[in-house]
Amino acid sequence: MSVSVVDYGLGNLGSVANMFKRIGTDVRLISTPEAVAESDRVLLPGVGAFDHGMSRLTETGLAAALRDFGATGKPLMGICLGMQLLLDASDEGDLPGLGLIPGDTRRFEAAPGLRVPHMGWNSIRTLRDDPLISGVETASRFYFVHSYQVVPARSDDTLAVTDYGGEFTSIMRSGSIMGAQFHPEKSHAFGMTLLRNFAAL
């Protein structure tokens, strides 16, 4: 099992790498298109704004490399901002996303008692069985920090939802492309299970 974590200047790289090491997975940080192409499976982390993330990926040639990698059928997963970058666009910015899963990202609607960003621990509700979420039961709790929610164009691409003023997609998958809106590296045993499943795909 080997996982390549994309280093494009955004994301909790050390925490992500340490979590993979704890579950016995060979992990390396990569920052070039060539390294992406040579990988067995790729994890795209990310924190911050959508356009900043896409600008960094485009400037370094990583955006094109990730699109090419996505077409190979090898596992590719985005977490937090990385999940949002997999889609076509975001309300947060003007740049196009990677376009690997049809859909977009929209800001949470303001509502009485609903704080934005959505921050802290929250549970998921799984919608169907999938190897990515094997052993991740409904009511498993994960750590979230985000102001925008992913809206896949195809409902079948949603693996799990979370309730925050209404249900939103918290885990998605389309073929070999997948994403998690929360931070698995901060989510203790539940996050460890998800990353272990990804490393085994």
CB atoms within 10 A of CB 121: 13
Residue 105 and residue 50 in contact, taking contact as beta carbons nearer than 8 Å: yes
Tokens of 19: 């979590």
Q: Catalytic site residue 80?
A: yes
Candidate list 92, 118, 146, 183, residue with the active-site label? 183
Query: Looking at 92, 118, 146, 185, which residue is catalytic?
Result: 185
Q: Give me the residues paired with residue 145 across strands.
A: 119
118 included as an active-site residue:
no
DSSP string computed for 23-62: TT-EEEEE-SHHHHHT-SSEEE---S-HHHHHHHHHHTTH
Question: Tokens at residue 135, please?
Answer: 């052993």
Domain ranges of the chain: 2-200
52 is catalytic: no
Contact 116, 145 (CB under 8 A): no
**Among the four given CATH numbers 3.40.640.10, 3.40.50.880, 3.50.50.60, 1.20.1250.20, the one describing domain 2-200:** 3.40.50.880
- From first to last of its 201 residues, the chain has per-residue pLDDT tens of 799 999 999 887 989 999 999 999 999 999 999 999 999 999 999 999 999 999 999 999 999 999 999 999 999 999 999 999 999 999 999 999 999 999 999 999 888 888 999 999 999 999 999 999 999 988 899 999 999 999 999 999 999 999 999 999 999 999 999 999 999 999 999 999 999 999 999
Q: What is the pTM of this model?
A: 0.96
